Structure 1
Amino acid sequence: MSSWNQPLTIWQKVQEAWNSLIVIKTFLSVSVTAAFRGKSGAKQYNVHVLNAVTRKLCVTFTPRQLQLRDTPTEEVYRQFMASRGLQPQTVPLNHGAKGHWIGNKNAKNVLVYYHGGGFFLFGRPEHYQLLAHMLDRLNEAGHDNLAIFFLTYTTTPHAVYPVQLRQSVEALRYILTETGRSPANIFLGGDSAGGNLSLAVLLHLTHPHPEIEPLKISQPLAGVFGCAPWVSYKLDGPSVQENAYKDALSEEILDRWSDQYLSGKEGDPWSEPARAPMDWWEEIQAKDILMTAGRDEILLSSIDEFVERFKKVVPNTVYVVAQDETHDSAVYAADVVGYDTQQTQAIVNWLGARL
């Protein structure tokens, strides 16, 4: 057992208890002040409180404390499948990754999905519940020919960039080589850091990362989407300040997570898709692209800037900005906003039109 995974010492447990009191104090305080938040706060009272507590939690607890409190992605998947009376269908992949099937794994089309969480947090129950909800919505509309292949990648600090990208490429390689599907029947998608990975894998197809085995495909993928994709680690856009008290993310959180991911390396086009020269995207290997963002998230400016330039070389791009939505709200505020957010609806509609 690594030192990271060893149980907390008595003193560390005391520190954790103190940190819990700090977070509780924040909850009690914000529960009162949220009534007077005005336009500087999140639209919904409960979302405002939840996001304020989330920000405090992520910067008060140490990274190790946060991960030890959480449930690993693969175990969350097992629990999710058990809750639906289904047997887990997990596939070991190269380089330590695993893929988990949701839906009928023999469906004609497959969505390879990369979860968010700053490359640090595990996949959450809400990730699986959201994707299952999306499948249900598609099935109701007569599109019952899609399965989801959900990747468990190694989170930081147990592995750092480009390990997560290498594992993401392997998930696509598996679907292509082991299931025999045509690229025309494969979608890539992800939320937040997972949106970063979906774009980075797409970039790797035409401009291979120098440390990762190339992957050539015979024809373009059916499509790629990023839900609130973390495309740049720069935090100099106006939305960072404008949405500082609305969103679940903060500058401190994002700086911490990007530093852990890069681990001293300089950013590059595969770690931050916004760094890629725009002409790198001209021969993009995907028929269609969808990107979404929340109007009230701090990443909005960086996503806006990237999409504006991206669409000039990839005109088959749809961009949806959801009013009054904070970062990745269908996952991280699901208990409050539910799963049928504007961004969820945009993804379901976009997929349905291509199935």
Structure 2
Amino acid sequence: MTTKRPGFDLGFWEKADLPFVHLSVFASMVYHAIAGVFRGKASPRRYDHFIMTNVIRKLVSRTSDRQKQYVYGPTTGTYETVMKKHGLNPETVPLAYGAEGLWIGNKNAKNVIIYYHGGGFAVPAIPAYFDFWLEVIRALNENGHDLAVFFPQYTLTPHAVYPTQLRQAVEALRYIINETGRSPANVIIGGDSAGGNLASATLLHLSHPHPEIDPLELSAPLAGVFAYAPWVSFSTEWPSMKENEWKDIITPSLLKHWANVYRGDKAADNWNEPINAPAKWWADVKTERILILAGGDEILLSPIEEYAKKIKSVFPETTYVVGADESHDAPFYVSANKETQTGVELRQWLASRL
């Protein structure tokens, strides 16, 4: 039985508000099902995407972080439920500094992907993450690969703030390298949104250690690093913040809130906002390849493009892909359980690295 972490219990009024949350989300769905017929160019091109995007945006904007954590439940609990649904045994290991590692696939596989989930550092992983990776593992292993995913559960805000989550992300990699004895050449790290931030910061830490986190020496470069719709800049002044405002599932105001809570009293630096790292820091990163993915309809598109451009200027083995008509984290939200351009690109890139 999974023990609930602090913060997943709500007060009376917070619980009493939940039926009204459901009502407002339902009302949003009905309204946008009608309004979608008359949508303009500032909205998602596809009718179903228009409805889903607006419903998700209403849900994430209408609820507090505490309510989100209560409704979704702990990441470990979601993981156990999904694994059992697929007839698989969940395997969880404790990590340093209060984190946990969740195995998806054969923990003795030759190759491992360490995956940091998104959610503004405040939202637990939803079932779509585990369904997505179970399908990726199945598809790749059926084609002769030997792959598993190691999914860290890091401490959510506001129960801990930066650099706790980065320290836990580094420890997940340290565990796979030092405790399971795998060569870095058989390890890929990646993540989406806030998890893409952690993957990027972890990569930077390997060659430019964070002053508050123990260094990690590698015997060889990592096989690869990927960042899916990475949240690499906390500024909301980018052009795409306005251009894609009504196409995406998240809002600039929500990003501001999450960034302020995550960073706490810490100033912006090269690890909590990886776009700040100078180009020369990317020239000696400890990986063979980098993949950066984004959706053409997401509000984070502009900073991601600048981020990709900076890295590619000094690290040519960088691939940047933009999925047409995709909102933020499309494979996990608006297009969950459907094939997306970025999802296909990621699977092909992983196959080439293993």
**8 A Cα contact 2:7 2:69, kept in partner:** no
1:352 matched residue in structure 2: 351
Describe the SS at the equivalent of 2:157: coil
Q: How does 1:283-322 map to 2 (within 5 A)?
A: 283-322=284-323
5+ unaligned residues in a row in structure 1: which ranges?
none
Question: Contact 1:130/1:339 (CA < 8 Å) preserved in 2?
Answer: no
Instruction: Read off the aligned partner of 1:31 and give its amino acid letter.
Output: A
Please point out which of 58, 62, 65 is paired with 2:64. Answer: 62
- Asked whether the 8 Å contact 1:55–1:253 carries over to 2, the reply is no
Q: Distance in 1 between matches of 2:157 and 2:242?
A: 27
C-alpha separation in 2, matches of 1:95 and 1:300: 33
User: Please, which of 35, 38, 48 is the counterpart of residue 36 of structure 1?
Assistant: 38
The TM-score with structure 1 as length reference comes to: 0.95
Once residues 31 and 199 of structure 1 are traced to their aligned partners in structure 2, the CA distance between those partners, rounded to angstroms, is 38
More displaced 10-residue stretch of structure 1: 339-348 or 285-294? 339-348
Per the TM alignment, residue 57 of structure 1 is displaced from its structure 2 partner at its CA by 1.9
Deviations 1:258-301 (A, max 9, x none): 11111132121111110111111111100000001011111000
Contact 1:293–1:320 at 8 Å: present in 2 too?
yes
Q: Please give the secondary structure, in 2, of the residue aligned with 1:39.
A: coil
Question: For the structure 1 residues 173 and 314, does the alpha-carbon distance in structure 2 shift closer, same or farther, using more than 3 Å as the test?
Answer: same
Unaligned runs of 5+ in 2: none
In structure 2, the residue matched to 1:24 is 26
Of residues 7, 11, 17 in structure 2, which corresponds to 1:8?
A: 11
CA shift at 1:43, angstroms? 2.2
Match of 1:329 in 2: 330
Aligned length: 351
Q: State whether residues 5 and 74 of structure 2, in contact with CA within 8 Å, keep that contact through their aligned partners in structure 1.
A: no
Is residue 115–residue 151 contact of structure 2 (8 Å, CA) maintained in 1?
yes
Task: Tell me which residue corresponds to 1:71.
Answer: 73
User: Identity over the aligned pairs, expressed in percent?
Assistant: 48
What secondary structure does 2:196 align onto? helix
Paired residue secondary structure (2:169): helix
| CA distance, structure 2, for counterparts of residue 6 and residue 100 of structure 1 | 23
Aligned 8 A contact 1:126 1:334 in 2: no
Give, in angstroms, the shift of residue 136 of structure 1: 1.6
The answer to whether 1:169 aligns with 2:170 is: yes
Amino acid in the other structure paired with 1:347: L
Alignment match, 1:341: 340
CA contact (8 A) 2:101 2:150 kept: yes
Alignment of 1:1-355 (within 5 A): 4-9=7-12, 11-143=13-145, 145-335=146-336, 338-355=337-354
What SS does the corresponding residue of 2:41 show, helix, strand or coil? helix
4+ runs of 1 displaced by more than 4 Å?
A: none
State the shift of 1:3 in Å. Answer: 7.8
CA RMSD of aligned residues (A): 1.6
Which amino acid in 2 is paired with 1:118?
A: G
Amino acid at match of 2:48: N
Native 8 Å contact 1:228 1:299 kept in 2? yes
Distance of 1:166 and 1:2 partners within structure 2: 19
CA contact (8 A) 1:90 1:101 kept: yes
Aligned amino acid, residue 8 of structure 1: G
Write the deviation string for residues 67-104 of structure 1: whole angstroms up to 9, x where unpaired.
Answer: 21112100111111111112111110000011111111
Q: Which moved more, 1:172-181 or 1:30-39?
A: 30-39
Mean Cα deviation higher: 38-47 or 295-304: 38-47
- Please state how far the C-alpha of 1:132 moved relative to its aligned partner: 0.9
